[in-house]
Amino acid sequence: MDRTLFEPEHLMFRDAIRRFIEKEIAPHHKQWEADGIVPRDLWLKAGEQGFLGMDVPEIYGGGGLPDFRYAVIMTEELARSNNTGPGFSLHNDVAIPYILHYANDEQKARWLPKFCTGEEILAIAMTEPSGGTDLAGMKTRAIRDGDHYVLNGSKTFITNGINADKVIVACKTDPDKAHDGISLLVVERGMPGFERGRNLEKIGWHAQDTAELFFENVPVPVENRIGEEGMGFMYLVSQLPQERLIIAVGALAAAEAALEWTVKYCQERTAFGRPIGKFQNTRFKLAEMKTEIEIGRVFLDRCIMEHNARNLSAVEAAMAKWWCTDLQNRVVDQCLQLHGGYGYMLEYPIAQAYLDMRWGPIGGGTNEIMKEMIGRSMGF
């Protein structure tokens, strides 16, 4: 089924990002997996090519392309190539939008140019050791003292946490309130009392640095607060649908890639004198996966265009996120099974995909929470 959502300029961009991955990422990714981190010079190279801050206005050094389809293409190509290390999507599509939508002009001029060149890397810190999705229950506190806040607390599972130069920290500026007491502060590398913990060891996504962050009496200038005090929860709720949609984009692209590898394997691998794809069980499994992926592709592409028109609802984003990540898990698991013993060997891409896939139903809000959101929208 042909996809109709892309224009010629998008196809040119896909060729460019594909060449970048083949030259600058794929040859080195195995080493980065061993290192547990992507080198900072990759970010500078991505910035030179215009792959960072694509929707940032040109006045701040960005691409001036407020078109979500470019983010979709980058995410798809990284997923299909099985290169999960570069945290470009977190930087571009999850964190930078908070600066674009809620920062003032002075803050944008101060921060955005280096985010676009790759000189500085951005992260966002919401999750805490004591709880993930329960933002109202966060324990990180920032108490105002004159022209600065005194920040105390900790965050965990923070993507880009080791490399990040700036971190958008969700914290309670009014501990007596729940959602209305949350604000967003930008913490900078080198601020006294700001420490990074371990680069966390994960099941998959080994090349993507994921860290613990600790704040002990960190003095954060009031001028580093994004938007209004107490509005942080509303800002987070407004931006989470895009995060969930981009997770869905990567998940479906990864499922498509896994099926492509497996079809090729089933055409070449023989058993009992014929390709294993000739066996009915194999054909049926492949047919089922192909059909489910096509169904998911139609819905997801519609969601992408709805989001591009600023019409995608939080509920539709939740549907896309849980459906596509669950589908990715089913597809990759079945594809590995069809590879037999070779599927268990890390020299085959399907094995790495199997390790990486399990994050999807957890990250960006668990799929159980996605279903809860959908259920509530139905009046329950």
- For residues 183 and 127, what is the distance between their CA atoms, to the nearest angstrom? 14
Q: Are 44 and 52 in contact (CB under 8 A)?
A: no
The reported pLDDT for the residue numbered 176 is: 86
> What residue segments make up the domains of the chain, in order of their start?
8-120, 123-230, 234-377
Phi/psi-derived region of residue 305, left when phi > 0, alpha when psi is between -120 and 50, beta in every other case = alpha
Domain 8-120 bears CATH identifier 1.10.540.10 = yes
**Among 212, 243, 256, 316, the one annotated catalytic:** 243
For position 309, what pLDDT does the model report? 95
pLDDT of residue 63: 96
Instruction: Report helix angle 40-48 to 105-117, nearest 10.
Output: 100
Give the residue ranges of the chain where pLDDT is below 70.
132-133
pLDDT of residue 296: 97
In the CATH scheme, what is the code of domain 234-377? 1.20.140.10
pLDDT for res 65: 94
Contact between residue 39 and residue 89 where contact means Cβ atoms under 8 Å apart: no
Domain covering 123-230, topology: Butyryl-CoA Dehydrogenase, subunit A; domain 2 (2.40.110)
DSSP state of 279: S
- Predicted local confidence at residue 178, as pLDDT: 83
Query: Are residues 220 and 262 in contact, defined by beta-carbon separation less than 8 angstroms?
Result: no
Q: What pLDDT score does 104 carry? A: 98
**CA atoms within a 13 Å half-sphere pointing along the CA-CB vector of 314:** 17
**What's the rounded Cα separation, in Å, for the pair 179 and 170?**
11
Which neighbouring-strand residues pair with 218?
A: 151
Q: Cα(241)–Cα(93) distance, rounded to whole angstroms?
A: 11
Q: pLDDT at position 133, please?
A: 67
Could you give the CA distance from residue 24 to residue 8 in angstroms, rounded to a whole number? 24
List CB contacts of 255: < 8 A, sequence separation 6 or more. Answer: 289, 293, 296, 324, 327, 328, 331, 332
Q: Look up 243 and say whether it is catalytic.
A: yes
Collapsing DSSP to helix, strand or coil, 188 comes out as: strand
Query: Is 66 in a helix, a strand, or coil?
Result: coil
Q: In the prediction, which pLDDT does 132 show? A: 66
| Inter-residue long-range contacts of 189-198, CB under 8 Å, 24+ positions, other chains counted | 189/164, 189/165, 191/218, 191/219, 191/220, 192/217, 192/218, 192/219, 193/151, 193/217, 193/218, 193/219, 194/218, 196/161, 196/162, 197/156
pLDDT score, position 3: 92
